[in-house]
């Protein structure tokens, strides 16, 4: 005879500290296989560093914080996230999605506020990881992710219009409105030259990619544009002076009232950092089978620490970068050494090549980001979603539109909400309430006898939840000419409190009309919920709940005195026939 089930041990401060340590401290296992893969990791790090340089500069400029902040972010956040994050392949730094969020922040609070926001958002992301929110990204529907990505691509393209025309960006937060206003105020006679530089970079990147995908097309295109601009003395805006030393530690100025006002922005940045980082890590996991999958909660903690470090060194918020992570994997990375070494490559560039980087035309960076934006727009995937179902198309298009018109966080919220509503609608449609069919082999006189005795067996299927309770109430309250109703709930897969409450209302209404209600088939969890909301009390004191239909029918006989030939009892089924149980 087995004894009582032992109680689970209560969490202690030691276990809590162990949990925190498992999510925050590096592990020896992080570098398993490094003795075999270190050459490939270093090559991948150099490759990603070369690719990341123009992107870091471009995203820093596009966000309004400046190229130096973008470079610092790629170095500091890239190194910290690689060492402390939960992904072995992730490359972190400034991204296009983050620039979309930062532009209105810079316009409203100034560039200094970005550093404090990076720290505040980083703390929020750390908390998200510690409380176990890493798994939430798995519930985001595919159409939302793809619509979000397409919308970001469109916004990044629109953000490059001022850079491509060497025109000061209008003080307008919305990217579409800013692009339109830029076209209106641009001096087109002067804008021809930077526009030609942008177009040349786009064309050269496309050609180089088609020639050989392994070439660092963005770096080559920017280098060619810079050389041409210097040789011909083109009248175009340049990046200008950059720091020629490693960034120094500095605590941003804290204004409690300003921070309170910026808290919604910090929450949006934290949500975006978590979302984009986990999506990027999930993509990387699918590219290599021999590398352990990402620890989602540890990845959030690592990204949060990376953002805190970035803010303390004068950088902007960072996330995992999907494009750079993909380059990292394709270049042969197998451990986090690759991500860390890409940051070291950028440090060497800062120490040795700052005067050269300062000569890069801003319009050349616009060309790099335009190509990046178009690569984010996957028309094949979009067509597949639009052809899938009407619900998927609605979710996809609504996410795209809200991303472009409003912002990214609102778009994800709207997309998930629309997907949830449509899923609930579909669940309600496949759920139903059906009066039990009689067996075809039942003799006519017995069928008449059963009907004359006024017994009805109803079969619930699917979900009994808030999305379909009204329909069930309407159907059951229309029952007439019966003395006993048997509610068979064996195939109810989902039941929430609203569904249980509706069930109680059905029972109460039928009993008020003098109809006896017998309930059958709830599982243990549904039975506990029904008891909690008063369903079993509504049945009365006669014990009208049964575990199986034979017992329920036997009890019904005592009320209506009917007999079933051979002791067969009616069980609701799918189709025309009932089954004997």
- Helices assigned H by DSSP within 64-171: 67-84, 96-109, 112-130, 142-164
pLDDT grade, residue 77 (50/70/90)? Answer: very high
Distance CA 309, CA 73 (A): 9
Q: What is the mean pLDDT of residues 8-36?
A: 76
What's the confidence (pLDDT) of residue 335?
93
Instruction: Report the DSSP beta bridge partners of residue 516.
Output: 484
Distance CA 133, CA 119 (A): 19
Q: What is the mean pLDDT of residues 289-306?
A: 92
pLDDT grade, residue 207 (50/70/90)? Answer: very high
Instruction: Report the DSSP beta bridge partners of residue 319.
Output: 93
Pick left, alpha or beta for residue 575 (phi over 0 → left; psi -120 to 50 → alpha; otherwise beta): left
Report the 10 Å Cβ neighbour count for 263: 13
- Residues with Cβ within 8 Å of 101's Cβ and at least 6 positions away in sequence, in order, are 265, 268, 269, 272, 317, 407, 408, 409
pLDDT grade, residue 165 (50/70/90)? Answer: very high
pLDDT at 343 over 50: yes
> Which among 366, 392, 308, 295 has a CA at the least distance from the CA of 336?
295
Q: What is the DSSP letter of 238?
A: B
pLDDT grade, residue 440 (50/70/90)? Answer: very low
Distance CA 539, CA 551 (A): 16
Distance CA 287, CA 276 (A): 17
pLDDT grade, residue 563 (50/70/90)? Answer: very low
What's the confidence (pLDDT) of residue 85?
94
Q: Nearest 5°: CA angle at 333, between 329 and 337? A: 135
Q: What is the pLDDT of residues 505-547, one digit of tens each?
A: 888 888 888 788 888 877 778 778 778 877 777 776 555 777 7
Distance CA 579, CA 572 (A): 7
What's the confidence (pLDDT) of residue 204?
94
Tell me the residue ranges of DSSP E strands in 166-290. Answer: none
From residue 38, how far is each of 44, 248, 321, 324, 357 by CA, in Å? Answer: 10, 30, 22, 19, 29
pLDDT at 449 over 60: no
Percent of the chain whose predicted confidence (pLDDT) is above 90:
22
Report the 10 Å Cβ neighbour count for 231: 8
Average pLDDT for the chain: 80
Per the model's pLDDT, the better-predicted residue between 148 and 124 turns out to be 124
What's the confidence (pLDDT) of residue 201?
93
What's the confidence (pLDDT) of residue 566?
41
What's the confidence (pLDDT) of residue 472?
65
Distance CA 30, CA 578 (A): 59
pLDDT at 69 over 80: yes
Q: What is the mean pLDDT of residues 163-186?
A: 85
Q: Which two tokens stand for residue 325?
A: 């992570």
pLDDT at 258 over 60: yes
Please report how many Cα atoms fall inside a 13 Å half-sphere around the Cα of residue 75, on the Cβ side: 24
From residue 324, how far is each of 47, 84, 93, 244 by CA, in Å? Answer: 10, 18, 9, 24
- Is the pTM higher than 0.85? The answer reads no
Q: What is the pLDDT of residues 382-427, one digit of tens each?
A: 899 898 888 889 989 998 898 888 766 677 778 888 887 887 777 7
What's the confidence (pLDDT) of residue 130?
92
Q: What is the pLDDT of residues 134-157, one digit of tens each?
A: 877 767 788 887 887 788 788 878
């Amino acid at each position: 005879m087995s004894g009582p089930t032992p109680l689970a041990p209560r969490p202690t401060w030691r276990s809590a500290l162990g949990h925190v340590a498992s999510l925050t401290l590096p592990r020896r296992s992080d570098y398993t296989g490094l003795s075999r893969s270190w050459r490939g990791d270093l090559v991948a790090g150099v490759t990603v560093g070369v690719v990341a340089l123009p992107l870091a500069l471009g995203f820093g400029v596009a966000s309004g914080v400046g190229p130096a902040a973008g470079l610092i972010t790629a170095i500091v956040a890239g190194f910290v996230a690689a060492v402390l994050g939960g992904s072995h392949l992730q490359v972190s730094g400034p991204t296009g999605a983050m620039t979309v969020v930062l532009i209105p922040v810079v316009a409203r609070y100034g560039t200094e506020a970005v550093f404090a926001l990076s720290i505040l958002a980083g703390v929020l992301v750390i908390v998200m990881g510690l409380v176990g929110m890493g798994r939430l990204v798995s519930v985001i529907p595919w159409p939302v992710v793809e619509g979000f990505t397409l919308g970001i691509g469109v916004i990044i393209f629109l953000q490059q219009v001022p850079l491509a025309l060497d025109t000061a960006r209008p003080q307008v937060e919305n990217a579409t409105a800013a692009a339109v206003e830029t076209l209106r105020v641009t001096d087109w006679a002067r804008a021809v030259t930077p526009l030609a530089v942008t177009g040349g970079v786009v064309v050269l990147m496309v050609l180089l990619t088609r020639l050989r995908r392994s070439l660092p097309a963005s770096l080559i295109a920017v280098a060619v544009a810079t050389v041409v601009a210097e040789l011909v003395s083109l009248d175009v805006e340049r990046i200008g002076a950059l720091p020629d030393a490693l960034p120094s530690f500095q605590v941003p100025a804290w204004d409690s009232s300003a921070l309170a006002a910026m808290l919604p922005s910090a929450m949006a940045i934290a949500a975006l950092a978590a979302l984009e980082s986990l999506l990027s890590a999930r993509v990387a996991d699918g590219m290599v089978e021999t590398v352990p999958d990402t620890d989602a909660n540890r990845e959030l903690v690592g990204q949060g620490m990376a953002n805190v470090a970035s803010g303390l060194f004068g950088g902007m918020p960072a996330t995992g970068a999907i494009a750079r992570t993909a380059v990292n994997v394709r270049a042969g990375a197998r451990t986090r050494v690759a991500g860390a070494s890409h940051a070291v490559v950028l440090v060497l560039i800062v120490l040795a090549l700052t005067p050269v980087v300062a000569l890069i035309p801003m319009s050349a960076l616009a060309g790099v980001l335009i190509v990046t934006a178009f690569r984010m727009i996957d028309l094949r995937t979009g067509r597949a979603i639009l052809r899938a179902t009407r619900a998927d198309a609605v979710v996809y298009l609504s996410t795209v539109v809200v991303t472009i018109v409003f912002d990214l966080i609102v778009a994800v919220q709207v997309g998930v909400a629309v997907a949830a509503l449509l899923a609930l609608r579909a669940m309600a449609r496949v759920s139903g309430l059906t009066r039990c069919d009689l067996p075809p082999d039942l003799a006519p006189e017995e069928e008449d006898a059963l009907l004359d005795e006024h017994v009805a067996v109803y079969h619930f299927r699917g979900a009994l939840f808030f999305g379909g309770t009204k329909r069930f109430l309407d159907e059951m309250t229309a029952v007439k000419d019966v003395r006993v109703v048997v509610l068979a709930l064996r195939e109810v897969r989902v039941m929430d409190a609203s569904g249980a409450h509706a069930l109680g209302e059905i029972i109460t209404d039928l009993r008020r009309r003098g109809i006896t209600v017998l309930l059958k088939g709830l599982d243990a969890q549904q039975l506990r919920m029904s008891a909690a909301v008063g369903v079993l009390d509504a049945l009365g004191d006669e014990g009208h709940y049964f575990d199986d239909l034979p017992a329920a029918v036997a009890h019904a006989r005592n009320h209506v005195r009917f007999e079933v030939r051979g002791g067969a009892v009616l069980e609701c089924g799918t189709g025309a026939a009932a089954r004997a149980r």
